Amino acid sequence: MNPDVRRPAQGPDSTGTLYGVGLGPGDPELTTIKAARLVRDADVIAYHSARHGRSIARRIAEPHLSGTAVEEALVYPLTTETTDHPGGYQGAIDEFYTEAAGRLAAHLDAGRDVVLLAEGDPLFYGSYMHMHKRLAGRYRTEVVPGVTSISGAAAALGQPLVERDEVLTVLPGTLPPDELARRLADTDSAAVMKLGRTFGNVRDALADAGKLGRARYVERATMDGQRTGALSDVDPGGVPYFAIALVPGEVAASVPDQENDDHRFPQAEPAPGHGPGEVVVVGTGPAGRDWLTPQVAAALAGSDDLVGYGPYLDRVPPNPRQTRHPSDNRVEADRAAHALDLAAAGRRVAVVSAGDPGIFAMATAVLEVAAGPKYRDVPVRVLPGLSAAQAVSAAVGAPLGHDHAMISLSDRLKPWDVVAGRLRAAAAADLAIAIYNPRSKARPWQVGAARDVLLEHRAPGTPVVLGRDVGGSGQRITVTTLGELDPELVDMRTLVIVGSSTTRVVERGGGPIVFTPRHYGEGTTTG
């Protein structure tokens, strides 16, 4: 054994074990099986966060939490180097680490196993290392490696970083610009971490090193809101801390001669005489990858072509093997025919919808066009997704817990008189109602008109839930009443749920919970 490598100290059997658990770059599905098991079985879950209290590590781990572990939030006292601490920034941060280690030690001394969560890999620019240095000599310690942000970012780009004998150098963006430029000039390939406020200096250093043209930018790799592109095109004012600059090596970035290279990637063109391909209509859920079912993910991964409304296609991480066909949101029939034509030529085509494709989305459009004789032999499948109504209902409780209706306010494919008639019928039947497509620039008046129609049969105090961008970065949940519903709070990204006469609002944990009981007692009125 290398004498420079120290084994973790073995403390008394009565003490707990400290686990430094790497969760990967952001997508919970990139968490290892071992890490997920340890998170699930932990006595204590610890995680670092800034003063706002939101922990990215905890968010990544959330699908694996048992709900029974004690949670220790290790909240940094400061996030910049400005402090009045007598020891300066380093003194303040060392004091914080010492206090945090003491909190974890108290659990370990009591015999509890502590799982300390870390984004990426625990020993790669991670906060865990500061706890490891202070506790590994006193307690049993195990480090579980995780997928690094560099790996996640390279995968998001679909770009190898090094090939053959090329050298990859990892650099912090906090280096002085001259030193950063020197090191960039001396390496074949580079990953520059910790961008945020350092981005301007990093971009200047890349330019000075002659590598700005090859530099690529990845923001929030594998997370909701992932963004990629040429680094030279990025606005410095909007760069978060969780961003990375990658410079692929020249060999790794080169593209083979397609005419002369016998090892080029196979093309997706069908062979002569190839039979029909397939169209699969998929729902990606209301927001990012956390809402994607494994069934839909597999269908997307196996497709040659992705067809859909541009913003919905943007939710699917880019794959250089696939061809994307974005289009406007008002050409459903043309989009469906395009997908079917591709499949008839032997391609495997995914038509991408948000939410569930069978609810005011692309499944019907594709099936309508496919019903014609031209596409009779083209296979079409529909895979369900989590709907916006389900997401909003769950976010606030269970307002759709009893009989309910789903109604679209859009009058583009049916007249407003039909919409109003259906609202009256659902209200008179005392159904909770999930209202899709409530408002657009062309029809800003319909929310108010729908409210007035419903008030013909519903009491003004009927609970109303407004759910905007549920699951996304702009999530907003508003609980109000039908009589006080303000149409200005509603836009096209909002789903409106109007309760029935039995729907209740109760306060739990400092916020409103809305649910519609499953029983329907005698004496219930429709207002």
Are both 120 and 89 inside the same structural domain? yes
Are both 511 and 437 inside the same structural domain? yes
Using one digit for the tens of pLDDT, what is the confidence trace for 287-346?
877 888 888 988 898 899 999 998 889 888 888 889 999 988 778 889 999 999 999 999
In a domain, 521, yes or no: no
Are both 139 and 190 inside the same structural domain? no
pLDDT of res. 257: 57
Task: State the Cα–Cα distance between residues 128 and 23, nearest whole angstrom.
Answer: 12
264, containing H or E segment: none
Are both 296 and 188 inside the same structural domain? no
Residue 68, φ and ψ in degrees, nearest 5: -105, -10
Task: State the Cα–Cα distance between residues 281 and 356, nearest whole angstrom.
Answer: 10
Are both 131 and 164 inside the same structural domain? no
In a domain, 334, yes or no: yes
351, containing H or E segment: strand 348-353
Are both 396 and 504 inside the same structural domain? yes
Give the structural domain span for 39: 17-147
CATH number of the domain to which 492 belongs: 3.30.950.10
> Which pTM does this prediction carry?
0.49
Handedness of CA 308, 314, 315, 318 (dihedral sign): positive
pLDDT of res. 135: 97
Whether the CB-CB separation of 422 and 407 falls below 8 Å is answered with yes
Q: Do strands 511-515 and 504-508 pair parallel, antiparallel, or not at all (unpaired)? A: antiparallel
Higher pLDDT, 181 or 330: 181
* Nearest C-alpha neighbor of 253 from the set 168, 161, 165: 161
At 183 the three-state DSSP class reads helix
CATH number of the domain to which 324 belongs: 3.40.1010.10
Tell me the C-alpha to C-alpha distance, in Å, between residue 196 and each of 149, 370, 432.
15, 49, 46
In a domain, 4, yes or no: no
Are both 332 and 225 inside the same structural domain? no
Amino acid sitting at position 223 = M
Are both 166 and 240 inside the same structural domain? yes
In a domain, 239, yes or no: yes
260 pLDDT above the threshold of 60: no
Structural domains in the chain (count): 4
Are both 123 and 209 inside the same structural domain? no
Are both 136 and 159 inside the same structural domain? no
Q: What is the DSSP-derived secondary structure letter of residue 40?
A: H
Domain boundary among 147, 162, 178: 147
Domain boundary among 147, 167, 196: 147
Whether the CB-CB separation of 114 and 107 falls below 8 Å is answered with yes
Residue 243, φ and ψ in degrees, nearest 5: -140, 155
Are both 397 and 427 inside the same structural domain? yes
Using one digit for the tens of pLDDT, what is the confidence trace for 386-418?
999 999 999 999 999 999 999 998 887 789 999
Task: State the Cα–Cα distance between residues 56 and 149, nearest whole angstrom.
Answer: 13
118 pLDDT above the threshold of 50: yes
Handedness of CA 328, 331, 334, 340 (dihedral sign): positive
Are both 302 and 243 inside the same structural domain? no
In a domain, 3, yes or no: no
Whether the CB-CB separation of 246 and 190 falls below 8 Å is answered with yes
pLDDT of res. 302: 87
Using one digit for the tens of pLDDT, what is the confidence trace for 146-175?
999 999 999 999 999 999 999 999 999 999
In a domain, 185, yes or no: yes
Task: State the Cα–Cα distance between residues 339 and 324, nearest whole angstrom.
Answer: 11
Domain boundary among 250, 268, 294: 250
In a domain, 83, yes or no: yes
In a domain, 65, yes or no: yes
Task: State the Cα–Cα distance between residues 430 and 432, nearest whole angstrom.
Answer: 7
